[in-house]
Amino acid sequence: MRYASQSVWVDIVSDLGNELRAALTGGQLTVEYQPQFELEGATATPGRPVAVEALCRWHHPTRGLVMPDVFIPVAEREHIITALDAHVLLVAAQQVRQWQLDGYALGLSVNASPTHMSPEYADAVIDALDDLGLSHGSLAIEITESPAPQLAPEAIAILPRLRSEGIAVSLDDFGGGDTTIDMLDALPIDEIKIDRSITQRTDDDADHEVAAVVAHAERQGWRVVAEGIETEDDLERSRRRGCHRGQGFLWGPPVPAPRLEEMLAG
Ligand code: C2E
Ligand code: MG
Ligand code: MG
């Protein structure tokens, strides 16, 4: 029984894998943008975003909208994550370059799965930026720790090359996993994103934890971004804790490019 149900599961996953492969070439994968703001002086009716995070969406012909929490693990398992990440980077870098040409000084963050990071990946990122004329300093690459508290050694080896090219490396979802503050110094990073589970915690322990991360980050010259700011209270708390930037539903969810343009213009 157990074996049968497992094989059904494997079939479903590989079906999804094949569909995802088709989606990649068939235009079903789109990119949404969520704005980031400087927290100093930020309010719920803020000025201009300073950067956007690109987040992938799958418009499946029969299943409807599929979210990344479902398809990113499939893409990783099926070894198409690097192609997917590269697709998102190309689309988003082109879009942000256009916004810059339109007069909006915006940075771009993209997510990258460290599980299959290779030297070819780094080359592809740099080539893409150079082809599009997007400055290396405009880009941050967000990586999340692997299931174990350490990132894959292969991924860690790629990161210094990206940084030496002026591309920022950001550690996503910090505080949501097992990485501790002592482990950070071993990582070649420029930015830490505080997981929304910590951003939204109101207790003193969380206050101290984030303040300690910020103090450490400032000594290292890293930026700290608070994720998951949903309320004025979340904003006030993150500001009090010293976070430099924020992102969250208070300002808006990820949206397609035209909606983000309305925000830029408004
Ligand atoms: P992430 O990189 O941590 O992205 C932030 C996620 O939190 C997004 O979910 C966003 O919609 C959600 N979020 C933002 N603000 C708030 C808030 O105030 N409250 C709440 N409850 N949620 C908020 P999304 O778009 O579903 O993405 C989920 C994860 O999937 C991402 O987490 C990222 O790890 C991964 N992902 C998305 N796109 C890509 C991609 O192109 N490549 C890779 N490798 N991973 C991706
Ligand atoms: Mg992210
Ligand atoms: Mg995150």
- How many domains does the chain divide into? 1
Residue numbers of the domain that contains 55: 2-265
Residues within 5 Å of ion ligand 2, judged at the Cβ atom: 111, 142, 172
User: What is the pTM (predicted TM-score) of this model?
Assistant: 0.94
pLDDT digits (tens, 9 = 90+) for 191-247: 999 999 999 999 999 999 999 999 999 999 999 999 999 999 999 999 999 999 999
Mean pLDDT value across residues 167-179: 91
pLDDT digits (tens, 9 = 90+) for 178-188: 788 888 888 89
What residues does ligand 1 touch, defined as CB less than 6 Å away?
Answer: 34, 55-56, 67-69, 72, 81, 85, 88, 111-113, 142, 144, 172-173, 196, 228-230, 247-249, 253-254
Per-residue model confidence (pLDDT) at position 7: 62
- Ligand closest to 34 (CA) is 1
Nearest Cα residue to 58 out of 50, 68, 43, 48: 68
Q: Which pairs count as long-range contacts for 16-19, CB under 8 Å and 24+ apart, including other chains? A: 16/71, 16/74, 17/74, 17/75, 17/77, 17/78, 17/80, 19/60
Supply φ then ψ for residue 32, to 5 degrees.
-110, 160
Per-residue model confidence (pLDDT) at position 1: 42
Choosing from 57, 66, 72 the residue with most ligand 1 atoms within 8 A of its CB, the one to mutate for a pocket test is 72
Residue 31 alpha carbon, nearest atom of ligand 1 = 41
Per-residue model confidence (pLDDT) at position 202: 97
Q: What is the domain-level CATH number for residue 107?
A: 3.20.20.450
User: What's the whole-number average pLDDT of the chain?
Assistant: 91
Higher-confidence residue of 45 and 70: namely 70
In terms of Cβ atoms closer than 10 Å to its own Cβ (0-12, 13-18, 19+), residue 92 is: buried
Extract the tokens encoding 160: 């210094």
